[in-house]
Structure formats: C-alpha cells, structure tokens
Amino acid sequence: MSSPSAPDGALKPTLSVFDVVAITVSGVTPASSVFVIAPFAIHQAGSGVFLAFVMAGLLALMFAFCYAELGRAHNSAGGEYVYAKRVFGGMAGYATFLTVLVMLLFIPPVLATGAATYLNNALGTNFDSQTVALVIVVCSYLLGILNIKLNAWITGTCLLLEVAALLVIVWLGFGNASQPVSILLQPQIVDHGALQLAPWALVIGAVGIGLFSYNGYGPAVLLAEDMKCKGRGVHKAVLWSLVLVVIIELVPLTALLIGAPSLSAMLASPDPIGYLLTSHGNETLARVVSGGIFLSVFNAIVAIVIQIGRVVFSSGRDALWTPTINRLFTRIHPRWDSPWLATLFLAIPSAVLSFSSNLADLTSFSVLLIMLVYLIVALSALMSRVLLRDREHPYRMPLWPLPALLAVLGAGYLLVNLFLEASLRDIMVIIGLLALSVILYGTNGRYSPAFQKL
C-alpha cells in the first residue's frame, strides 16, 4: 500500500540528509563547473586560478555558515527571501525573491549552453549549441516534476559518474606531473605568447568566478521541508555540500595545472582541460570524459529545477501573487508529490534564454545576481539574532558575528567591482527588479495576511 500523497500547500517529507546532499551537490555540478565555468577563470587569472578558487572556498565557507544558521532557524522552502522578509521586512523579501528567481532562471541555460561542446566531443558530431541547450533545458524541467525521492537517486547516481570523469583529470594530471608546485602560489598568465606574473587584481577578480563555480550549496535549505527530520539536519546538509564541492573541484584544477606539458600552451588554449586530455590521454578517453561532463550538466539542471520548484511553491504558499496564481503554485501532483506547476513556472523563459549565444554575458550576469543574493544572506545572518531575539537559533555559526561580517565584506567588495564592470543592460535589469519588487509589494504584498505573518 502506497503512502498518502501530500496535500496542496504541503511537501511530503521523504529525504534524508544524505539525499539532500546528493541533490545539492548535483545542482552545483562540480564537473561542469570545472569544465565549463573554470576556463573563464583560467583565461583571466592564468595559474592564479588555484589561489582564486582557494580564496573563493574560504569565502564560501563564511556564506555556508550564514546559510546553515538561517536555514535551521527559519525552516522554509522559500530560503533566502524568507530570511530577508523576517529580518528586514516585506520590501526586502520581495526584492530578494525576484533576484533569486531571475538567478535561478539564468543558471540552467548558462550550463546547458556550455554542455553542447562536450556532447559533440563525445559523439563526434556538430550539433548546434542552442538546439542542444534547448533540449537539455526542456527535458530537465520535465524530469524535475517527478517524485523528489526518485530524483535524489537519479542525481546521486549521475553524481558518481560525474566524479569518475573528474578522477580521470586527477589521474592524468598528477600521474604526468610536468610543472613545479610553485606555480600554484606564483600566479602566471600568458601575455603576447610569453609567461609572466599575473597581477593580483586579476586573481582577486577571478574569485567571483570561483564563487559561481561553487555556488549551489546554499540551496540545500530549500529542501528543508522535504526532509524526514523536519529540517533539523539542514545545517549539516549545507556544510557537507560545500566541503564536498570544494574538494571535488579544487583537486582536479590542481591536477590540471601540475600536469600541463606546457603551461603557456594550456593557459592560452580555448579548452584547457581538452588540452590535458589530448596531451596525456587519447581520443577515446577524451570522448568518454566529455560524455560524463555532458551527463553531469544535465544532472545539475534537473537538481536546479527541483530547487526552482521549491522557491516558487513557497512563494505561492506565502501569497506573494494573486489568489489564483497562489493556488496553482501550491498544487501538489497526486502521483509525484511534487509542486509541478510551480516547478514548470520558469520552463518557457529558461528555454528561450537557451537561444542566447553569448555564454560569457550570461555567466557574468549570473555572477552579479549570485553576489547580490550572498550579500542579502550575509546581512540576514548578521542581524537575525539581533532583530529576532524571540526566534530560536538551534544551530549557531562558530565565532559569530565574524563569519557573517567577513561574508558581508567579501560580497560587498566583489559586488562593487562587478557593478563597475557590468554592462548598462545588466544594471538596468537590476534596477528593473528593484522597481518591480516595489510595485508588487505595494499592490499585493502589504495587503497579504499570509505574507505579513511570514
């Protein structure tokens, strides 16, 4: 006899901490971060990518402490916007919700667009990247509405295959060590065909890309209501997810630098990891690894779609929309126990974005949104204990408020630099989001009893 389905407005708690970690780390997709995102940092900071990713990992730990404390104290599938609303008020809640929603909208097409190269490498084909991205995004949304326990097993299994692909890089790099360890601590770039010391400004600038590469450990808090322990282990899921992500990404990047036959050739290559594979491996091995990377990207987008569904579901339950839309978003599928309409909400705009041919622009804008969300989370963690003294904080970050302060300073510094480099279009989109949040809160949020009680 099957267990009863979850009623509308409630998620069925079926996940363990291990399941949440599997889905969360799959959403980060370490392999695609190394293969698709890390090359941007390599081209910017050269061998300084190692130090940039180490600094990003330390800063990410500060954010993880913030997520862990907030996720345990404010147990909700809404995540960041719930924290902002409870700590700073309704307007902050709406602004955070829209920022998170747009961020989640952009990340799937960013990953999917970069995946086409690896599909073609694996199959020896020449499929159009936009078509491949479209198919990946559509299929990911369809899988995302299935039972979350089933998706936990699917994403966990694919994660193992993803790690296996990265182990090939580790084996080739460390097994054919060609560069001294000193290159990890003495950043070098290629300028006019010759190696030279990389300016620290470039290395620090790549920290933002490193944070984007690690991004996704925080959304473990979005699955708190899906946990059998009623979210009591969500802080463990956040911290374990980050630790695993940093290890899984940083070790292959180190092997890549150490194993490069020619550091200048690798840094100048448009495909640094492909350079290592062809230098030390063979065509068959390169195809197998490429296939694994493609699978990892697909797996990641499925995990992210699950997270999207939880945020939108929560927004309907908290009455951020009109009554009719709220009812639709809180509807639970009778067979799959998933908020299926909420999950499909961003499917069409996300599919349309997959036709964008400029992966670099999508990536830079996604990093900008991520930094905005991180700053909000850090400020919420800094002030939650101060402004909400009547709310229990079962998990307390070590050395509070130091991690939260470091997170605020780190996010603020990177955000200022990103805004200075951002295009006018990106800045106008951010201003538009803020304006829309004012309108939505003024016309709906302030009159919503459910949102005010949140």
**Residue 194, SS3?**
strand
Q: Which range, 5-19, 88-102, 145-159, has the best average confidence (pLDDT)?
A: 88-102
CB atoms within 10 A of CB 450: 13
State the Cα–Cα distance between residues 405 and 414, nearest whole angstrom. Answer: 14
**236 closest CA partner among 10, 17, 11:** 17
pLDDT at 9 (0 to 100) = 56
pLDDT at 2 (0 to 100) = 40
Who contacts 358 (Cβ-Cβ below 8 Å, separation ≥6)? Answer: none
State the Cα–Cα distance between residues 252 and 116, nearest whole angstrom. Answer: 21
Half-sphere exposure of 126 (CA within 13 A, CB side): 0
List the domains of the chain with CATH numbers: 17-388+398-453 (1.20.1740.10)
Q: What is the pLDDT of residues 123-179, one digit of tens each?
A: 888 888 888 889 999 999 998 888 777 777 877 787 888 888 889 899 999 999 999
Query: Are the C-beta atoms of 220 and 20 separated by less than 8 Å?
Result: yes
Task: Give the tokens for residue 155.
Answer: 């994403």
Between 12-16, 111-115, 220-224, 242-246, the lowest mean confidence (pLDDT) is in 111-115
Q: What is the pLDDT of residues 340-393, one digit of tens each?
A: 999 999 999 988 888 865 666 777 788 888 889 999 999 999 999 999 988 999
